Amino acid sequence: MRRHGVLTAVLLSGAVAHADAPPPAADASVRPAASSSAALAAQMALAQQIVLHGSPQGAHECAICHGEEGQGKIKAAFPHLAGLPKPYLERQLKHFDALARNNPSMQAIAHKLDDAQIAALATYFSRQVPPPIMSPVTPPPALGEALALRGRDAIPACVTCHGPGGRGLGGALSAAFPPIAGQPAVYLERQLRAWKNGQRPAGLDGLMGAIGKRLSEAEIVAVSQYFAAQPTLAATVATEARP
């Protein structure tokens, strides 16, 4: 498992260029300036401490729910954080802290993190490799696929912003429109309902809020199942990689 993770990390570092998520640590040999890598190492160490043991201010350890490497827990509908763009993760933690995003556990946790800790945690998780495969057995409903790939009326196809397969478009685009592939279906549903009910900040230019408002309950369930069944970037890169 770990070896597979490292292999994928190396492949990823060649193929991925998130603006704020430089290649994962496995590729440390080609990292440039020593001073910036020292700063990075300090950030990673700070984050790891919180991930495994919680923060001195009393924030719970992230690992209990999201896993040590941010792999998430499908059954409990805890999202994976690994490989999500750093600015996106930072933004979410600040939204929880400001009570703009509605989840009591995460609100309490984010409230006990300062800006430096948030930056360190966002850096740490953005540099982990997303879980390779998180897909359920039953094929996703046709309604979900239609919405994801074609859209409906004034709802653009989800992949327009979230990238092919929901894997993101990279760089600044992924920071604004995060990858959504392979997240637990129940988690995705909860987010879409939050937008429908005006309980999550609407995202860049109000784009995701405007879309969530127009989705029907049946569409929310179907499209969530569709994206939950899509392989993450890591999984795709690993399977497509040629020797």
Partner 1 sequence: MSARSAFRSAHTLIAIATCGVLSACEQAPQGSAAPLAAASAAQPARPVAVAFAPPPSSAIPDDAFGVVVRQGEALFRNTPAHAPQYTGNTLSCRNCHLDAGRLADSAPMWAAWVSYPAYRSKNRHVNTFEERLQDCFRFSMNGKAPPSGSPALVALEAYSYWMASGAPTHAVLRGAGYPRLPKPAQGWDYARGQALYTEHCALCHGADGQGLLVEGKPWFPPLWGPQSYNWGAGMSRLDLAAGFIKANMPLGNGNSLSDQQAWDVAYYIDSHERPQDPRYLGSIEATRRQFHDGPYETYGRTVNGHLLGVGSGVSGGSTVTQAARGRTTTTLRD
Which residues of this protein are in contact with ligand HEC, per CB under 6 A? 50, 59-60, 62, 64-66, 78-79, 81, 84, 89, 91-93, 101, 103, 105-106, 109, 121, 147, 155-156, 158, 160-162, 176-178, 180, 183, 187-188, 190-191, 201, 203-204, 207-208, 211, 223
In total, the chain counts a number of residues equal to 243
Question: Distances from the Cα of 231 to the Cαs of 102, 134, 167, 197, in angstroms?
Answer: 27, 7, 8, 29
In the chain, the amino acid numbered 3 is R
Helix crossing, 2-15 with 233-240: angle to 10°?
90
Taking the complex as a whole, the smallest distance from the CB of residue 120 to partner 1 amounts, in Å, to 24
Task: Please report whether residue 211 would count as binding partner 1 according to CB under 8 A.
Answer: yes
Segment interacting with partner 1, rule: CB under 8 A, options 45-53, 63-71, 102-110, 160-168: 160-168
Task: Please report whether residue 235 would count as binding partner 1 according to CB under 8 A.
Answer: no
Q: By C-beta, is 96 or 195 nearer to partner 1?
A: 195
Binding string, residues 72-111; x marks residues near partner 1 by CB under 8 A: ----------------------------------------
Q: By C-beta, is 124 or 236 nearer to ligand HEC?
A: 124
Task: Please report whether residue 54 would count as binding partner 1 according to CB under 8 A.
Answer: no
Please identify which residue in 18, 95, 127, 162 interacts with partner 1, judged by CB under 8 A. 18
Distance (Å, whole) CA 202 – CA 144: 21
Distance (Å, whole) CA 125 – CA 25: 11
Q: Which residues pair with 152 in a beta bridge?
A: 155
Q: By C-beta, is 18 or 95 nearer to partner 1?
A: 18
Side-chain half-sphere exposure of 108, counting CA atoms within 13 A: 8
Please identify which residue in 28, 204, 217, 239 interacts with partner 1, judged by CB under 8 A. 204
Query: What contacts 108, CB < 8 A, 6 or more positions away?
Result: none
Please identify which residue in 170, 184, 201, 231 interacts with partner 1, judged by CB under 8 A. 170
| Residue corresponding to tokens 């430089």 | 22
178-181 contacts, C-beta under 8 A, 24 or more apart: 178/84, 178/85, 178/88, 179/83, 179/84, 179/130, 179/232, 179/233, 180/227, 181/227, 181/230, 181/231, 181/232, 181/233
Out of ligand HEC, partner 1, none, what residue 172 binds, judged by CB under 5 to 8 A for its kind, is partner 1
Applying CB under 8 A, the residues found at the interface with partner 1 are 15-18, 150-156, 160-161, 163-164, 167-174, 176, 204-207, 210-211, 233, 237, 240
